[in-house]
Amino acid sequence: MPELPEVETVRLQLLRHVVGKTIKKVTICHQKTVGHDTSFSQRLTGKTIKTIDRIGKLMIVSFRGEKNLYLLCHLKMTGQFFFINANGTFAGGGHTYNASLVSTLPSKHTRVIYFFTDGSKLFFNDMRLFGYTKIADAYTVSLAKSAFGPEPIAEDFDFVKFAALIRNRKRSIKAVLLDQSVVAGLGNIYVDEALWQAQVAPYKIAATLTAKEAKKIAVSAREVLQQALTFGGTTFRNFTDTQGEYGNFRDYLAVFGRQGEECRRCQATICKTKIAGRGTHYCNQCQT
DNA sequence: ACTCTTGTTAAAAC
DNA sequence: GGTTTTAACAAGAG
């Protein structure tokens, strides 16, 4: 379940691995992943990767000398990138890596393979086929970007604006925080975590919250995202980095997946319900 | 066999 | 017309 910290972890690794590399060939194993684009491979062949940006959970690849060619990459729920060196191993990077995974690639969940001219490869795996890597022009990219609200980790995040925005929202605060057009980057895990830290109950209608509570929620969201970033994200089910490694923030989750366990703040039992159509974890005693 | 899992979106409802 | 809700997508785990 990649959210902002997981996507950023992958982006930073991809920056190290593929920036400046030239695409030699692309093999498409599943057409849906590239938006059924029949010219996908042809349009990317010979292109050199300039950089990779990110907004919310969306990665945007740009190419040298190309002002109107981009690759939009979304992991959705089960998308994974695996980078393999020219010598056939994972890139390494100081920490141990999942070596046994290398021999399984490509696997039955491999959807696209990018071959670079230096012999290295990038695999895009996606078990459930919700993710994509699609070619887009500059206009499409700007449209996609405009659909996102500010990120809580942005230095210039405007807390006053955020409080004003949610003041007339009649949905639960959980639903509002999951809405990428309000704030970008949060998903089911970090919304639950941020609300626990802010001591606000997820079912509360956003409009009923005070400006003070709104600010506390945004500050908590920022802190939770930043902390998760330092741990390389959270692996709850399917997330791995580009070497098949898990994110280590799971050990620090306060509520997500901890239903039936003790609240670390007040020792009450963490409960789980469904809010905004999603599994929702919170402490019914200290989140009010 | 059936329920549950989630990020996003299209469509329907309000 | 903006906001909100719901279902759909897909495939695996339990």
In the structure, how far is the CA atom of residue A203 from the C1' atom of nucleotide B2, in angstroms?
28
Which ranges in chain A belong to alpha helices (H)? Answer: 4-18, 40-44, 99-102, 138-146, 159-166, 173-178, 188-198, 211-230
Q: What percent of chain A has pLDDT over 90?
A: 81
Phi, psi dihedrals of residue A219, rounded to the nearest 5°: -65, -45
A224-273 pLDDT tens trace: 999 999 998 888 777 888 888 788 888 899 999 999 999 999 999 999 99
Strand C nearby residues, CB < 7 A: A 32, 77, 108-109, 127-130, 169-172, 175-176, 276-277
Tell me the C-alpha distance between A19 and A52, whole Å: 8
- Going by pLDDT thresholds of 50, 70 and 90, the confidence category of residue A123 is very high
Q: Are A100 and A34 in contact (CB under 8 A)?
A: no
State which nucleotides on strand B lie below 7 Å from a protein beta carbon: 4-9
pLDDT at A92: 52
The answer to whether A56 CB sits below 7 Å from nucleic acid chain B is yes
A72 has pLDDT over 90: yes
A88-104 pLDDT tens trace: 888 754 444 566 788 88
Instruction: Work out the mean pLDDT of chain A and round it to a whole number.
Output: 91
A187 has pLDDT over 90: yes
Tell me the C-alpha distance between A108 and A281, whole Å: 33
Residues of A with catalytic function: 2-3, 57, 278
A76 CA: nearest nucleotide by C1': B7
pLDDT at A254: 93
pLDDT at A234: 82
The answer to whether A20 CB sits below 7 Å from nucleic acid chain B is no
DSSP assigned state of A223: H
The answer to whether A224 CB sits below 7 Å from nucleic acid chain B is no
**Residue A16 tokens, joined:** 């190290």
Q: What residue is closest to C2 (Cα–C1')?
A: A169
β-bridge partners, A135 = A71
CA distances (Å), origin A280, targets A31, A170, A195, A273, A275 = 34, 18, 11, 5, 6
Tell me the C-alpha distance between A269 and A84, whole Å: 44
Tell me the three state secondary structure of residue A262: strand
pLDDT at A97: 54
